[in-house]
Amino acid sequence: MTDQTAKTALVTGGAQGIGRAIAEQFLADGMNVLIADCDKEACQETAEELEKNGNPVALCCDVSDEQDVKTAVSETLRQFARLDVLICNAGISGFFGVPVTELSLEQWQRVIGVNLTGCFLCAKHAAPYLGKTGGCIINIASTRALQSEPHTEAYSASKGGIVAFTHALSVSMGPQVRVNCISPGWIETAEWQKKSRRQTPALSETDHAQHPAGRVGVPEDVAGLAAFLASNQAGFITGQNFVADGGMTRKMIYLD
């Protein structure tokens, strides 16, 4: 039977990668978790694999579709009778390498629709219930909001928008709801995919050495930060963007 006194989290994009690590961390912390993800196969696998840590519910959801988002929120309430934490993690990184002169409007809108509009829709429909529990929203952006490689305009714009959306929303929703943002850097997620895509990462010493922290990040790094931001210990923190990148955005690089 579900413990309806326990905190409840809705985690979008929670079936693989960083989202799955956050869902697993929350379950280990005793929270109820609903995983919303557009990959039905990954949803089913993740729910089955995480049962040992709790009783997660998985739901197929496209966060760019308002009706899907409404359903995810209502199902969370139906299953657990409350909502305390919203993790807006769902995102796509498609169309890297496509020059802006060749990027179609449809491609641009798809990235913005999932990555940025998805955050808006989730916040819009979760807000009334988060307000009742004094809950919080944690948006997952990226260091691409702060620095770029060539031909990443759609993705970078979507993640920059998330950072701005976060601080705007924190002012609008405070003091009832706290809103923060995490911007991960290089996080290796190869081992956190569904079974058909899961693999051992191939990382070199150079990959690790370019990080001042001495290694490439892992999903648990982001999950630990999310767990803190969702806790009562973070009660005085809102409107902030936390960069979790092993120090890479602080490292000056000179070509020989």
User: Mind listing the domains of the chain with CATH numbers?
Assistant: 8-250 (3.40.50.720)
Q: What is the spatial distance between Cα 242 and Cα 229, in angstroms, rounded to a whole number? A: 10
Q: What is the spatial distance between Cα 93 and Cα 159, in angstroms, rounded to a whole number? A: 10
155 is catalytic: yes
* pLDDT, position 53: 77
* pLDDT, position 43: 95
What angle do helix axes 219-230 and 17-28 make, rounded to 10 degrees?
A: 50
**Low pLDDT (below 50) residues in the chain:** none
Q: Give residues with Cβ within 8 angstroms of 104, minimum separation 6.
A: none
* DSSP state for residue 241 in the 8-state scheme: E
* pLDDT, position 2: 62
Phi/psi at 233 (5° precision)? -65, -20
C-alpha dist (Å) from residue 96 to 3, 44, 92, 153: 43, 29, 10, 8
Phi/psi at 89 (5° precision)? -110, -20
* pLDDT, position 5: 84
* pLDDT, position 253: 82
* pLDDT, position 55: 77
* pLDDT, position 256: 66
Q: What is the spatial distance between Cα 161 and Cα 141, in angstroms, rounded to a whole number? A: 9
* pLDDT, position 64: 98
* Of 99, 98, 181, nearest in space to 138 by CA: 181
> How many degrees, rounded to 5, is the angle at CA 178 between CA 60 and CA 83?
40
Catalytic residue among 80, 129, 155, 165: 155
